[in-house]
Amino acid sequence: MNIAAALARARAFLHRKGIEAAALEAEVLLAHVLGTDRVGLYREAHRTLTREERVRFEEMLSRRAAGEPVAYLTGHREFMGLDFLVTRDVLIPRPETELLVEMALEILGRGDVPGEPLLADVGTGSGAIAVSLARYLARGTVYATDISPAALAVAAENARRHGVTGRIVFLSGDLLAPVREILPPGSLVLVAANLPYIPSADIGRLMPDVACYEPHLALDGGADGLELYRRLVPQARELLVPGGHLLMEISPGQVSLLGPLFPPDTWQYRVHRDLAGRERLVVARKKAPF
């Protein structure tokens, strides 16, 4: 069977299994098996697959049909124009999280941050946020924490691949606790966090490719989804400089619960919508004392 015929069969198979982007996913998986890109498939459309290639492609297709996400099958996901290694130890970076990075870059690019800015990425996972910030900011250091040592190993590999190892300090532990051990209060200009925010009771209702494959440690945000953020906000308040920013990704239904997290004597906050028009990002600014 040649490449064109294998693709046609795979498309039809994934389509029958209810995969929406069957054509695209068939191409991504075959390109991965053959070590080429999607254009390469069409350049070599008439080449016959070896038996080994056919077997590997069929195995990928059946794992995909069983619900395994494409990013775990290929080990890659693009985020902020960068290629990230992903394994089942980390959440697959989501396009909506790019809003958080873009907003952080805009805030820090306003130019009034002197010297070498210190930032934090709490719950770094694959390192998507920390590595993107380090890559796109000319200066500064990112303190990236995670409670999962396995996730931190993936993040460290992503930092290495993108040449920013020297710009990120990886720390294992709960929220900002490991940063508090090494930095004095009032050190950080920005704290970014895409922590688990799905209410525990909703985890079972997620799409099976999320619920069955992605780490629950990366999803479960407790009773109302805000338990980790509720603990994070006072820690961030202590570590931020006056006028510093806390950026948190949330689920749209949580906006009405945010008020008590941000007492108006200490914080000003706004909620921004993602490209799909959903309220997704909290940008909170620590007020300067009078």
- Between residues 57 and 162, which has the closer beta carbon with respect to ligand SAM? 162
Q: What does the alpha-carbon distance between residue 153 and residue 159 come to, in Å, rounded to a whole number?
A: 10
Rg (CA), the chain: 21
Q: How far is the CB of 53 from ligand SAM (least distance, A)?
A: 32
- Between residues 75 and 242, which has the closer beta carbon with respect to ligand SAM? 75
Q: How far is the CB of 152 from ligand SAM (least distance, A)?
A: 9
- Between residues 194 and 254, which has the closer beta carbon with respect to ligand SAM? 194
Q: How far is the CB of 228 from ligand SAM (least distance, A)?
A: 6
Q: Apex CA 144: angle with CA 143 and CA 146, to 5°?
A: 140
Residue 67, annotated as binding a ligand: no
Q: How far is the CB of 180 from ligand SAM (least distance, A)?
A: 13
Residue 166, annotated as binding a ligand: no
Phi/psi at 121 (nearest 5 deg)?
A: -120, 110
Residue 126, annotated as binding a ligand: yes
- Between residues 17 and 88, which has the closer beta carbon with respect to ligand SAM? 88
In terms of Cβ atoms closer than 10 Å to its own Cβ (0-12, 13-18, 19+), residue 120 is buried
Per the CB < 8 A criterion, the answer to whether 264 and 277 are in contact is no
> Encoding tokens for residue 210?
């999320």
Residue 244, annotated as binding a ligand: no
Residue 277, annotated as binding a ligand: no
Q: What does the alpha-carbon distance between residue 260 and residue 178 come to, in Å, rounded to a whole number?
A: 25
- Between residues 29 and 171, which has the closer beta carbon with respect to ligand SAM? 171
Q: How far is the CB of 92 from ligand SAM (least distance, A)?
A: 7
Q: Apex CA 9: angle with CA 14 and CA 83, to 5°?
A: 60
Closest CA to 163 of 136, 143, 135, 138: 135
Q: Give me the residues that bind ligand SAM (CB under 6 A), please.
A: 90-91, 93, 97, 122-126, 128-129, 145-148, 151, 174-175, 194-196, 217-218, 228
Residue 146, annotated as binding a ligand: yes
Q: Binding site: what residues are annotated?
A: 123-127, 146, 194
Q: Binding site for S-adenosyl-L-methionine: what residues are annotated?
A: 123-127, 146, 194
